[in-house]
Amino acid sequence: MVLALAAAGSVLAGPAGSAFAAETAGRADLRADVNRDGRVDVTGGSDKTGEDTWSVGRGAVYLPNIDDDTKRCPVTGPGGRPLSDAKLAACNDGTDTKVNGAADAADLARVRSVPLPGLASNAKGSLKLTTGGKHAHLFLKRDGKWVLVTPATRLTAAELRSGVEFGVEGTDIVRDAAKWDGRAVVRLTVTAGQKTTSDAVTLRVAPLLTHHHLQNTQQVMVTEVQGQGEYSRLQQKFVAELGKEVKKAGVTTPLVKFTKYADPWAQDFVEPAYVNMSGPGGQPQVMRVMLRSAQPDRDAGRELFEKVRGRDIGVVQVKDPAEPDDWSLNSFGNLETIPPYAHGGRSFPAGRIIMGERKDSGARPSKVMRTMLKSQGMQDPLLLDTSWLGVGHVDEFVQFLPADTPRGWRIGVADPQSGLRLLRDAKRDGHGATKMFSVPGRSDSPAPKETINQALASRHLVSDNEMAARRIAANLEILKRETGVTDEEIVRVPALYTRESEAFSAEGQDVPVPRLTRMGAASDLVDSLRDRGQQKWLAENPAAPRAAAAPATVQTSAYVPGAVNGVLLGRDRYLAPRQWGPVIAGKDIFTEAVNAVYTKVGMKVSYIDDWYTYHLGMGEVHCGTNTLREASGAWWRQPVR
């Protein structure tokens, strides 16, 4: 949500001081909101100190004006033909040289000149904007209208006497700090007779920030696959149930539904982010920014421009000229954000990004994307090892949960050892013949028939989960080292994984299991649930030779629906995938165990069935949804250590 300016113009701050006025009389003097209180102080000194420098804690901020306040940007070409990705991205409020109405004016950072009442009538002023490139526009408020400042712009003596208001907008975010670090320097030069003075202020474009789970959920996004096919029907049912759960959690804003491209993985093709700065009275001026995944062949990202972009909502896409090592790593299920923390001499007041890499093969997410994220200077991405996962996303095993503790949050992780223990305990208690899964079958997808005994006797299930436990433990050590989190702050959620090309037949032998690949859209259940192993790997690696073999590293996905791969809908409300585990004495033992661990840390858990819509596609509820979260917080405030 973006707060509009209460009135045009900056708010003057601070009592007039005769000594200060005498000290600055007759000299060019520019001011910006250096202390970020939403006011430009032209009568005192609160915005003077540090005006020519910038740090995370102090310095004027301006927004990258990449939204489309008046919906002027086209989304189709002549005759309704689709625009190219480049043309979709080429238009926003920062790509013209106008201030497009009052809403656009609200996105301008204000700069003011200190009035020079005794200035001679022959005096004049000139302006220069230095940004290291064409990354910003400077506007002048003249006769109630915003006018672009050009090299030919001159300020009159009358304007300089009364003081002048300026507005600064960015034309883009920082994409590579080595090429441009976001700074814009505005310099005012005043000439009166033979005397010339000048002054400058430094601003930096607001960093693009990803959301963390201490920010309240305001809206949920999901794809609603259109059509009359079986998969479409099931997925539409999921969306309807999701809407009910969202309302029950107290989120009353309607779902954002993607409907055009039939890509069910709404977590993967977009990462909701935001920029903000202080507005009048210290109220935040916020712009949401939808970050499109670095997957140029993933058409679903186009709907961000075609449907979502508008007032106070911009879209950013990156293009990586290098062929990605692993297409799946560029999905945003592979990007989560640690909540704010400070540890080991480093501080992350807006949280810190985590992403998965395949250390076994050296594959990483897009370098261009990683460079862009790091260049914001706030959330330096931390890479975890997801070599052991078929899809390779961090959301398959780790999450962050609010907590009433000094730190304010905990880490939730999948716990395969706990999952194995549930099965072993059930077998010990005489329930080994109980079916492993309680999910009802369908005519086109029979229910799994394996029992607890057969699962534990499997050639790979136990060893693969022991491997997964070791990999998760190694990643936890990285998180503990980087954040200072202790074992007492870790929530261990029962889970089980299975290698991606194997499940179990009635005889307990390993056999291929069909799954809808998380790598793309689905239009029909029967067509989609097939060729899980080799076809999935080829879809992840479109440039690979078609005779290539799947990777040698054992890679897994959730066997029982991954409970950590759910959606935090409120500080204490969590939506998990229905477990469909073994039912003993009328209770699903996985559901009971999951409830127990979340309840212990103050979370209320509800469940939604995603077996045929997402789970069989190597994803869960989190993978098929996305959240827009509260974005007005001051990212420069330091977190609790």
291 part of a folded domain: yes
pLDDT value at residue 413: 98
Q: What span, in angstroms and rounded, lies between the C-alpha atoms of 442 and 559?
A: 18
Residue 261 and residue 113 share a domain: no
Domain assignment present for 352 = yes
**Mean pLDDT value across residues 171-180:** 97
pLDDT range class, residue 281, cuts 50, 70, 90:
confident
pLDDT of residue 44: 95
User: What is the count of structural domains for the chain?
Assistant: 2
Instruction: Give the pLDDT confidence score for residue 446 in this predicted structure.
Output: 87
522 lies in some domain: yes
Q: Residues 140, 141, 143, CA angle at the centre, nearest 5°? A: 130
What does the pLDDT read at residue 517? 53
Predicted confidence (pLDDT) at residue 278 exceeds the cutoff of 80? yes
For residue 10, pLDDT beyond 70: no
pLDDT above 90 for 388: yes
Measure the CA dihedral 254/258/260/261, to 10°.
-160
Q: What is the pLDDT of residues 109-137, one digit of tens each?
A: 999 999 999 999 999 999 999 987 789 99
CB 334 within 8 A of CB 394: yes
Q: Do 580 and 510 share a structural domain?
A: yes
Tell whether 214 and 186 lie within a shared domain.
no
Structural contact between residues 494 and 597, judged by C-beta atoms closer than 8 angstroms? yes
Banded pLDDT at 507 (limits 50, 70, 90): very low
Query: So what's the pLDDT on residue 511?
Result: 29
Residues 6+ apart with CB under 8 A from 95: 171
How confident is residue 12, by pLDDT bands cut at 50, 70 and 90? Answer: very low
The pLDDT score that the predictor gives to residue 284 is 95
User: Does 172 map to a domain?
Assistant: yes
CATH number at residue 33: 2.60.40
571 closest CA partner among 441, 437, 401: 401
DSSP track, 568-602: EEETTEEEEE-----EETTEEHHHHHHHHHHHHTT
Task: Specify the higher pLDDT residue, 509 or 217.
Answer: 217
pLDDT (average), residues 585-589: 98
Assess whether 316 and 334 both reside in one domain.
Answer: yes
Residue 319: pLDDT band with limits 50, 70, 90: confident
Percent of the chain exceeding pLDDT 90 equals 82
289 plus 193 within the same structural domain: no
Q: Residues 169, 222: one domain?
A: no
Which is more confidently placed, 51 or 15? 51
List % helix, strand, coil for the chain (3-state, nearest 5).
25, 25, 50
DSSP track, 428-446: HTT-TTSBS--PPPBTTBP
Last residue of a domain, one of 152, 183, 205: 205
User: Is residue 637 domain-resident?
Assistant: no
Q: Are strands 124-130 and 30-32 parallel, antiparallel or unpaired?
A: unpaired
CATH, residue 287: 3.75.10.10
Residues 179-191 pLDDT 10s: 999 999 999 999 9
For residues 499 and 584, membership in a common domain is answered with yes
Residue 640 within a domain: no
Q: Residue 552: what pLDDT?
A: 60
Domain-located, residue 321: yes
- Answer with the one of 190, 205, 220 that is the final residue of a domain: 205
| pLDDT for 325 | 67
H-helix or E-strand containing 192? strand 183-192
- Residue 613 shares a structural domain with residue 490: yes
| pTM to 2 decimal places | 0.90
pLDDT at 131: 85
Assign 338 a pLDDT band (cuts: 50, 70, 90).
Answer: very high
Mean pLDDT calculated for residue range 295-304 = 95
User: CA–CA distance from 526 to each of 5, 441, 522, 536, 623 (Å)?
Assistant: 53, 14, 10, 16, 21
Let me know if residue 54 belongs to a domain. yes
The mean per-residue pLDDT over the stretch 142-166 comes to 96
Domain that holds residue 80: 19-205
* Band of pLDDT at residue 23, cut at 50, 70 and 90: very low
Judged by DSSP in three states, 225 sits in coil
339-351 pLDDT, tens per residue? 999 999 999 999 9
pLDDT above 60: residue 227: yes
Per-residue pLDDT tens over the stretch 44-76: 999 999 999 999 999 999 999 999 999 999 999
- Say if residue 174 is in the same domain as residue 249: no
Query: For the chain, what is the mean pLDDT?
Result: 89
Domain finish residue from 189, 205, 221: 205
**Res. 537: pLDDT tops 70:** no
At residue 509, does pLDDT exceed 80?
no
Give the residue from 535, 494, 496 showing the smallest Cα distance to 518: 535
Give the other-Cβ count within 10 Å of 382's Cβ: 16
Q: 167 and 286 in one domain?
A: no
3-state secondary structure of 310: strand
* Gap between the Cα atoms of 382 and 194, Å rounded: 57
Same domain, 170 and 302: no
Q: Measure the CA angle with vertex 147, ends 207 and 67; round to 5°.
A: 35
Q: Which DSSP helix (H) or strand (E) runs through 61?
A: strand 60-62
* pLDDT digits 0-9 by tens, 553-565: 799 999 999 999 9
pLDDT value of residue 638:
75
| pLDDT 10s digits, 594-607 | 999 999 999 999 99
Q: How high is the pLDDT of residue 523? A: 34
Distances (CA, A) of 476 to 351, 414, 470, 508, 545: 17, 11, 10, 33, 36
- Whether residue 503 is found in the same domain as residue 600: yes
